[in-house]
């Protein structure tokens, strides 16, 4: 195992920062000057390196490309009002990363590499941190199998990399969502709770079909009845009925245990709402819409933050909402943004100083 002192740092000769328009930062388009790279072999993690962002030289027999042993995380760092960089709940993402690794038969990444490596990388690229409300430095840790052998078995070697990407909001406008009942994202016993690359690859066909119908994303349902709601393509989902928030529970292992989901639950409770984590069926949502008790619905995610849903379609039934009149989700979004950007007290110790 390494400690923080073992990180080797090689800096770029010339930064590319001036080529980036910080007032126009589509999600995931630009990457900072440096990346962190660490290899795993012979049962241990080797020396971590921070080096110029660059292409990787990989063999076509790379195990990850054939059998999908590949996982990732999404984290954000913010510049607070005093100009300091803080990372939002990185230990929670670190924990989830290793839960995904365990499910995919990959080695755990030690905290020294994940957290300390991340801090050091942000220090090196600190000039890349956007300085605008709702903008942040998106952090993308990944790990993938690097054996060059195509037998179906867990790889003996892996690469762990962290990329940094300055970014604006993922969804700029309220979303239109299609309730999916043909395709399945996850079933009990599967890998729905893990943040493995294949979960996203497998979702693209459903998202493309939804797009062809004029929708931004799908809301996944269970694999047997296609009635029990799971999560939206890139985020968890919440329904507000009066003073009560309902979000699908984690028990079946079919949805991602979102860090923003957990933060939203905490803040909604602090706002005085009752929060229920339980199974929720599309019929309950339709019933609430018809009776007028369903007042708001939104997604939560690192990239998506709090994203209002202005239209939800189930079969031919279309539910439309006037999001500009909503009170709860905009307040939740503001409270979370204020904590992240240092305008509101961080009571829960969520912000970790770089
Ligand atoms: C995130 O919210 O960070 C995600 O990983 C979701 C998506 C952009 C893949």
Instruction: List pLDDT tens digits, range 253-270.
Output: 999 999 999 999 999 999
- The per-residue pLDDT for 171 is 81
Per-residue buried b or exposed e for 48-71, using 16+ beta carbons within 10 Å of the residue's own CB? bbbbebeeeeeeeebbbeebbbbb
Sign (positive/negative) of CA torsion 175, 176, 177, 182? negative
3-state secondary structure the chain: CCCHHHCEECCCCCCCHHHCCCCCCCCCCCCCCEEEEEEEECCEECCCEEEECCCCCCCCCEHHHHHCCEEECCEEEEECCCCCEEEECHHHHHHHHHHHHHHCCCCCCCHHHHHHHHHHHHHHCHHHCCCCCCCEEEEEEEEEECCECCCCCCCCCEEEEEEEEEECCCCCCCEEEEECCCCCCCCCCCCCCCCEHHHHHCCHHHHHHHHHCCCCEEEEECCCCCCEEEEECCEEEEEEECCEEEEECCCCCCCCCCHHHHHHHHHHHHCCCEEEEECCEHHHHHHHHHHCCEEEEEEEECCCEEEEEEEEEECCEEEECCHHHCCHHHHHHHHHHHHHCCCCCCCCCCEEEC
Predicted pLDDT at 1? 44
Looking from the CA of residue 140, the nearest atom of ligand 1 is: 3
pLDDT band, very low/low/confident/very high, at 51 (cuts 50, 70, 90):
very high
Contact 234 CB / ligand 1 (< 6 Å): yes
Q: Which ligand 1 atom is nearest residue 28's CA?
A: 8
In ligand 1, which atom is closest to the CA atom of 170?
8
Answer yes or no: is the C-beta of 303 below 6 A from any ligand 1 atom.
Answer: yes
Note the CATH number of domain 175-340: 3.20.10.10
Closest protein CA for atom 4 of ligand 1: 74
Cβ(264) – ligand 1 distance below 6 Å: no
Ligand 1, atom 5, residue with closest C-alpha: 74
Q: Quick one: average pLDDT of 188-216?
A: 97
- For the domain made up of 4-167, give the CATH fold: D-amino Acid Aminotransferase; Chain A, domain 1 (3.30.470)
Ligand 1 atom 3 nearest Cα: 74
- Ramachandran angles phi, psi of 155, nearest 5°: -65, 155
Regarding the beta carbon of 302 and ligand 1, being less than 6 Å apart is answered yes
Of all protein residues, the one whose alpha carbon is nearest to atom 8 of ligand 1 is: 303
Regarding the beta carbon of 258 and ligand 1, being less than 6 Å apart is answered no
The confidence score (pLDDT) of residue 200 equals 96
Start-end of CATH 3.30.470.10 domains in the chain: 4-167
pLDDT score of 75 more than 90: yes
Is the pLDDT reported for residue 3 higher than 70? no
| pLDDT tens per residue, range 303-354 | 999 999 999 999 999 999 999 999 999 999 999 999 999 999 999 999 999 9
Ligand 1 atom with least separation from CA of 303: 2
Q: How confident is the model at residue 2 (pLDDT cuts 50, 70, 90)?
A: very low
Ligand 1 contact, 307 CB (< 6 A) = no
pLDDT at 62 over 50: yes
Q: How far is the CA of 177 from the centre of ligand 1 (A)?
A: 17
Predicted pLDDT of residue 220: 98
Q: How does the average pLDDT of the chain come out, rounded?
A: 96
Q: What is the mean pLDDT of residues 113-141?
A: 95
213 C-alpha vs ligand 1 centroid, how far in Å? 23
Ligand 1 proximity of 233 Cβ (cutoff 6 Å): no
**CATH 3.20.10.10 residue window(s) in the chain:** 175-340
Residues near 204 by beta carbon (within 8 Å), at least 6 away in sequence: none
* Residue 197 alpha carbon to ligand 1 centre in Å: 11
Cα 179 to ligand 1 centre (Å): 20
Q: Residue range 244-257: average pLDDT?
A: 97
For the purposes of burial, counting CB atoms within 10 Å of the CB of 291, is it exposed (0-12), middle (13-18) or buried (19 or more)?
Answer: exposed
Indicate whether residue 301 lines ligand 1 (CB < 6 A): yes
pLDDT of residue 5: 58
Substitution site in 29, 136, 169, 301 for ligand 1 pocket (most atoms within 8 Å of beta carbon): 301
Query: What is the average per-residue pLDDT within 279-300?
Result: 98
Give the residue, by CA position, lying nearest to ligand 1 atom 9. Answer: 234
Q: 221 CB under 6 A from ligand 1?
A: no
Q: Is pLDDT above 50 for 21?
A: yes
Q: Does residue 74's CB lie within 6 angstroms of at least one atom of ligand 1?
A: yes
């Amino acid at each position: 195992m390494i400690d923080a002192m073992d990180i080797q740092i090689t800096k770029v000769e010339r930064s590319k920062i001036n080529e980036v328009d910080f007032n126009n930062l589509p999600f995931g388009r630009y990457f900072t000057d440096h990346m962190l790279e660490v290899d795993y072999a012979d049962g241990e993690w080797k020396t971590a390196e921070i080096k110029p962002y660059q292409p990787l030289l990989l063999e076509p027999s790379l195990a990850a490309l054939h059998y999908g042993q590949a996982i990732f995380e999404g984290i954000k760092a913010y510049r607070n009002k005093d100009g300091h960089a803080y990372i939002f709940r990185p230990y929670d993402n670190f924990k989830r990363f290793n839960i995904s690794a365990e499910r995919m038969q990959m080695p755990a990444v030690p905290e020294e590499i994940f957290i300390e490596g991340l801090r050091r990388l942000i220090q090196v690229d600190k000039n890349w941190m956007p300085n605008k409300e709702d903008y942040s430095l998106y952090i993308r840790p990944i790990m993938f199998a690097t054996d060059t052998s195509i037998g179906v078995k867990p790889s003996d070697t892996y690469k762990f990399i962290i990329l940094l990407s300055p970014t604006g909001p993922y969804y700029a406008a309220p979303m239109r969502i299609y309730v999916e009942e043909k395709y399945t994202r996850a079933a009990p016993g599967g890998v729905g709770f893990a943040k493995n690359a294949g979960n996203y690859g497998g979702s693209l066909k459903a998202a493309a079909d939804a797009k062809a119908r004029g929708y931004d994303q799908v809301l996944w349902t269970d694999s047997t009845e296609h009635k029990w709601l799971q999560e939206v393509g890139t985020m968890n989902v919440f329904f507000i009925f009066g003073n009560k928030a309902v979000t699908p529970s984690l028990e079946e292992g079919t949805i991602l245990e979102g860090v923003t989901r957990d933060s939203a639950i905490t803040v909604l409770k602090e706002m005085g709402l009752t929060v229920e984590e339980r199974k929720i069926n599309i019929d309950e949502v339709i019933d609430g819409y018809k009776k007028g008790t369903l007042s708001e619905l939104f997604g939560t995610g690192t990239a998506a933050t709090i994203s209002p849903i202005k239209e939800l379609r189930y079969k031919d039934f279309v539910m439309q909402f006037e999001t500009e009149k909503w009170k709860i989700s905009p307040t939740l979004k503001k409270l979370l943004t204020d904590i992240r950007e240092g305008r509101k007290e961080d009571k829960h110790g969520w912000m970790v100083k770089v």
